[in-house]
Structure 1
């Protein structure tokens, strides 16, 4: 599977990049994608929610009224959740929402996500570039050249590049990651996935195992 390589100005360089069929052209597994995205979102939850239950409330422990003869329900504590100011019944408690997912399933999910994007022609391959210093305007010019300034985009670098990363931080719709940080959620969340040439080898070696 060959894709044209673009330069920093969005022009065709005349070269072609070979995308592995084992990574970018498999039969997508929708359920694997769903599970990996679900795990990613679950891991973003802090799980620090806590409501006061009757054991956490300060109040008298005396019996409110006699057990029988009142014609109403039994009541043994003012801290009960049925009374105003009492504890909450079955309130939220701190918990970890994360769950385990098999490595092979996660790998299949990422390959499926890339294959979906490739099938939709939403993958762009771009030659390596760098900025002399972090500058938002330079990054905006790159997005304009690729016609993605008003779309959600994901730029995948071959390795750490602080100048490019820092230049991108003011754009909410665009994210810069390295090949090792690539996730199914980030792939599916982007309208365009821009792969830098140096990232292709890392992506294919990580996902072809």
Structure 2
């Protein structure tokens, strides 16, 4: 498979150079089953699992039998903590638990590569020359920069990915609701799927190969 050529732009939206992308990361065929399972793994880990109910032995109340076993003309009845009694215990109710499950590391890496490849195929991925060239911490300047690089897609949800971000970059983006920053070390399928546009610092490409192709 031939290497994919992609232009690198600066913060004004002008093309500054061209790079070749590794097809083993940026041209991986889609498999919706893999993406679904890995995304489900991400969301399941986030579930708190704090739901809790009390069983019969945990409900406060007397253990004395409510009425005699016989001669009342009514059904047999134990104490008032039984599940069919108001305020009684719950049968097979939820208890605190973890919803997490395991997914093979190779499968997780494959899902990340699929997500990136999908962005590339749909023209929803950009490469910027160097995030360190951006120095303004003003929200208005950051908004103007977004308009320059995204153009008609400026209102789409965007994810910036770099090895690290300068404080001015963080401050400039912090008040823009549809922009998020993600360090390369935290690159994951869920974040890629939840954003319409992915914007890479061109300096992370070699590091990506080291992380995703091992």
Q: TM-score over 0.5 for the alignment?
A: yes
TM-score by length of structure 1 reads 0.90
Any stretches of 5+ residues in structure 1 without a counterpart?
none
SS of 2:95's partner is coil
Report what 1:141 is aligned to. Answer: 144
Aligned length: 208
Report what 2:49 is aligned to. Answer: 47
Report what 1:202 is aligned to. Answer: 207
TM-score by length of structure 2 reads 0.88
CA distance in 1, matches of 2:91, 2:64: 20
TM superposition outliers: structure 1 runs of 4+ over 4 Å: 68-73
CA distance in 2, matches of 1:24, 1:193: 13
Contact 1:81 1:88 in 2 (8 A): yes
Indicate whether 1:62 and 2:64 are aligned. yes
Shift in alpha-carbon separation, 1:65–1:182, aligned structure 2, 3 A: same
CA distance in 1, matches of 2:74, 2:140: 72
Report what 1:156 is aligned to. Answer: 161
Indicate whether 1:8 and 2:11 are aligned. yes
1:60-209 to 2 correspondences below 5 Å: 60-68=62-70, 73-130=75-132, 131-132=134-135, 134-145=137-148, 146-147=150-151, 148-209=153-214
Residue by residue over 1:49-98, the C-alpha shift from the partner in whole angstroms, topping out at 9 and shown as x without a partner, is 21233222211111112334556543212112211112222222111111
CA distance in 2, matches of 1:141, 1:52: 56
CA distance in 2, matches of 1:168, 1:75: 65
Q: RMSD value over aligned CA atoms?
A: 1.9
Any stretches of 5+ residues in structure 2 without a counterpart?
none
CA distance in 2, matches of 1:94, 1:8: 48
Question: 1:103, CA displacement in angstroms?
Answer: 0.8
**Match for 2:33 among 31, 34, 43?**
31
CA distance in 2, matches of 1:19, 1:70: 84
SS of 1:5's partner is strand
